[in-house]
Amino acid sequence: MKKALDEHIKELEMMAVVKEKPEKGFVFKKVKISTDLKDQEVLIKIKSVSFCGTDSHIYNYDHWAETHLNLPLIVGHEFSGEIIKMADDVKGLKIGDVVSAETHIICNECEFCLRGEGHICENTEIIGVDRDGCFARYIKIPAANCIVNNDAKNDLYLSVQEPLGNAVHTVTHFDVKDKSVVILGCGPIGLMGIDVAKAYGAKQVIAIEVNEFRQNLAKELDADLVINPINEDVYQKVMEATHGKGVDVVCDFSGNKGAIELAFKYIKAGGGMSLLGLPNENISIDLANDVVFKGLNIYGVVGRRIYETWDKVKYLVSNDLLHFDKFVTHQFPLSQISQAAEVMNGKNCGKIILIPGDDIDE
């Protein structure tokens, strides 16, 4: 049986990735964390973390980061780890549990939480954005946010379950079984989206991506058609592939203005469009012809449905229906966070995993 953290230890030192200044970059430095816990809180020793598009925004300190962060801040929100201390009132968990986390900490009191829509809680706090995050050795979070993974076959991939949940939420909001599906943008979550659509029985998955490295990853994940919008006519290719009918479901992971606007043209009547990507510009839509007269269904994706999406993730992982080894492409020690961030900036990657400690083998 695993032993709890010695109660006499009131503070722990750790190396952490900190956003200190309103400029590009991170600082990897020694910080301290109190082991005191609030009610319903746990202390976790982190095993692995993964790099997200949000972390890239923070690293580059773009307009989004400038308007959303209070510095200094320990960054990062995707992780897995082991519970080493629990508040006395925590139930349903135990010391030694291997967990990943729902990173949206919700209030359970607002109208949205009370009607079972905690994913749009009006008081959400996001780990690594609104409070200190997980790019460190330890983190404290509410017990309710822990997802237990004691039966996991591969601990290394547990930290990517949170972004995987975004892909699952996006792809499965509309029924994709025996449907044609466009995956718009093959960044890390879009690549996961291909895998999820295949796992849920889509008859045809069309991936649209400009980056050659990610096009090749999409092919490795068995996308039926990969279109490069730089040198191919996307509308023509999609209509040819669907015998002139258009696709049933579009899942946007790109946030690209032109790509989204075009998608409204090749989605078929009665189709569904799930939007996860965040455009930097306003989108122009022919509302009458491309939405109203098509009877189109549009869904905005926020995080994961708590905890419905996690049940779907667990089903996919437990039944070995996904190909983590294909969409996870890089691994770094956490101390090399800046190198990882630049790989992400270069876009020649899928999902990036980082391991706390001085080296990967620690």
Residue by residue, DSSP assigns 269-302 as EEEEEEE-S--SSPPP--IIIIIITTT-EEEE--
Q: Which of 54, 124, 170, 172 is catalytic?
A: 54
Contact 177, 204 (CB under 8 A): no
Tokens representing 66?
């400038």
Q: Which of 8, 35, 57, 330 is catalytic?
A: 57
Amino acid in the structure at residue 57: H
Residue 54 designated active-site: yes
Nearest Cα residue to 161 out of 200, 120, 103: 103
First-to-final CA distance of the chain:
22
Contact 341, 49 (CB under 8 A): no
Q: In the chain, where does DSSP find H-type helix?
A: 53-60, 63-68, 111-114, 161-172, 188-199, 212-220, 234-241, 257-266, 308-318, 324-327, 337-346
Nearest Cα residue to 78 out of 147, 179, 170: 147
Residue 330 designated active-site: no
Close Cβ partners of 67 (under 8 Å, ≥ 6 residues apart): none
Nearest Cα residue to 157 out of 304, 45, 43, 47: 47
DSSP state of 131: B
Close Cβ partners of 237 (under 8 Å, ≥ 6 residues apart): 206, 225, 227
CA-CA distance, 75 to 54, in Å (whole number)?
10
Catalytic residues: 54, 57
